[in-house]
Amino acid sequence: MLVNQVAVFLENRKGRLNALLGALSGAGVNIESLNIADTRDFGIVRLVTDDNDKAEAALKAAGFTTARGDLVGIEVADKPGSLTATLGKLSDEGVNLEYVYSYSRSGGKALILFKTDDVERAEALLK
């Protein structure tokens, strides 16, 4: 399945993440997953929320720069070895992953999100 994500540019300054979270809670948006990629100078916050349109509008209004995109999402069993098996298929077929993150769900399953430049093949391999 495809999961829509909102990416946000985050300056390396005090209080920016807090301002970002404040903008979302102020708009009544619930965050389902949050991941931060950081470098020495800036960060990129990647979000999946219950309403990405609303989230993006609220962030833009608060002066944040955003970008939307789709990730591939897969559910795997919440136990050792299950992710290795799944992602191993992609590796064997030469599908590159740009980044991966996850969040645990109740019910013994984990949702794994990853960015790839070959969404179609990745989805086909994981069916």
Partner 1 sequence: MRYYNEKIETMSRDEMTALQSARLVDVVKRTYEGAPYFREKMDAIGLKPEDIKGIEDIAKLPFTTKADLRANYPFGCFAVPKSEIARVHASSGTTGKLTVVGLTNRDIDDWAECDARALVMAGCDKDDIVHVSYGYGLFTGGLGLHYGSEKLGSVTVPASAGNTMRQITLIKDFGATALACTPSYAMVIGEEIEKAGYDIKDFKLRVGIFGAEPWSENMKKEIERKLNITAYDIYGLSEISGPGVSMSCPYQCGLHVMEDFFYPEIVDPVTLQPVPDGTTGELVFTTLNKQGMPLIRYRTRDISALWHDKCECGRTLVRMKRVSGRTDDMLIIRGVNVFPSQIESVLMNIKEIVGSHYQIIVDRVGNLDTMEIQVELAPHAFSDEVKDVEAIRRRIEHDMMGNLGVGAKITLVSPDSLPLSEGKTVRIIDKRKI
Residues belonging to the chain: 127
Contact present, 87 and 81 (Cβ < 8 Å): no
Structure tokens at 117: 């430049």
Return the axis-axis angle of helices 52-61 and 16-26, rounded to nearest 10°: 130
Structure tokens at 111: 């949702």
Closest to partner 1 by CB, 13 or 79: 13
Closest to partner 1 by CB, 61 or 124: 61
> Minimum distance between the CB of residue 44 and partner 1, rounded to whole angstroms?
6
Q: What is the CB neighbour count within 10 angstroms for residue 1? A: 11
Closest to partner 1 by CB, 12 or 84: 12
> Minimum distance between the CB of residue 46 and partner 1, rounded to whole angstroms?
6
Query: What is the contact surface with partner 1 in residues (CB under 8 A)?
Result: 5, 7, 9, 11-12, 37, 39, 41-42, 44, 46, 63-67, 69, 98-99, 115
